[in-house]
Structure 1
Amino acid sequence: MQTSSENGEIKRQEREQRAFAPITIVIADDHPLLRYGLVSLLAGHADIAVVGEAANGREALDLCAALRPDVVLMDLQMPILSGFDAIEAIKSVSPETHILVVTTFDGDGHIARALKAGATGYLLKASLRTELHAAIRATHHGQRYLAAEAAMALAHRFDERDVAPREREVLRLVGQGNSNKQVAREMGITEETVKCHMKTILSKLGANDRTHAVAIAIRRGIIDL
């Protein structure tokens, strides 16, 4: 039987091993060249070990369930299972895994949705060479890491009124080319209600017309078509 002092020594050794162990990484992106580039960028860092690569959200989820990596580098636009859905699923099966979003999307809607899903950090692909290693280390320690552009987009978002879920649905249907009458029929509401929603949406987004509102919503990640 082990004494309390022996147990304490074992725990101390385990802590030291974890402290010196490399940060295990799974890269999830549907572009092979991007995955290759990320592996190359990380190859020179002894404190980081890439343990898996996924070409879609489902593969990322399966890898995380099997490997329990420290950090996942997650693209948002992924086949089979979107990045947003993959983030939620990964946090469910491996809650200790931290997720750093690596994407080209800089809209405040995308950022807020990713963070709400469970991402710890958000990095733009344009900043990979200069910020990737620092972002991984911060994310690994559970610290929120936002690229400067992402932080500014979120700050701008908090200065505005959010577009409500019902209004987003109206916008999505309008963006698909539906008339007010068609939107009303699809949503089971009156055409007058659709017009009221659109008036509110234009005010919230500072848009000139329907087309402008849809363009703003897509750019900011409020809707996806």
Structure 2
Amino acid sequence: MFNNQILAAKLLETGAVRIQPDKPFTWASGLRSPIYCDNRILLSHPEIRTGLIDLMTKVAKDFEFFDTVAGVATAGIAHGALLADRLKMPFAYVRSKPKDHGRQNLIEGEIKSNAKVLVVEDLISTGMSSLQAVEAIRQVPANVTGVIAIFQYGLPIARDAFDNAECPFKTLTDFQTIIHVAADQKMIEPHHIELLNQWSANPQAWSAHYLVNN
């Protein structure tokens, strides 16, 4: 049975999570980051995919009652559909913006009025994409039980955003677990751990410092 440490090891093993403290990645926002996550890689590994959904099903039971699953487009769609199938529940997904043709849907699939919805996201960084989906579902109107994601960076801005939205969230594994597993497997040096924690505490300041000094 998967747990947070086994999943973290699988993320590293498959390259879904990459750590490059000395050669940071550039996010779409322009921020430099010593870590990058692409959970979609896991979809290509059937055994890992099954173990992940086993774990997601277990963690989902920690939320209050829900009767519908909704994925956040695009990366949360596949895992959300797999979870909904496992739970035998209705599934829908939420676009980042309405289509510019046809019925101009923001939500694809059916979310019934007053449904209790668990939102599935692949990754929580700032939390903005997840919470946009939460707000769209609340406008149905339906109730959002919470957000479940595969991985989170543990950024303060995300915790604050979810608190302000009064929306609970849980993840299957997280930044600190990844660091712990990577260190145990000698994938990172001891001095990298402090650097990674500095980034997690304040990614904007860390990124600015890197750009000034490189």
TM-score, scaled relative to structure 1: 0.35
Is the radius of gyration larger for structure 1 or structure 2?
1
* Structure with the bigger percentage of helix: 1
Q: Relative contact order, CA 8 A, sep 6+: which one is greater?
A: 2
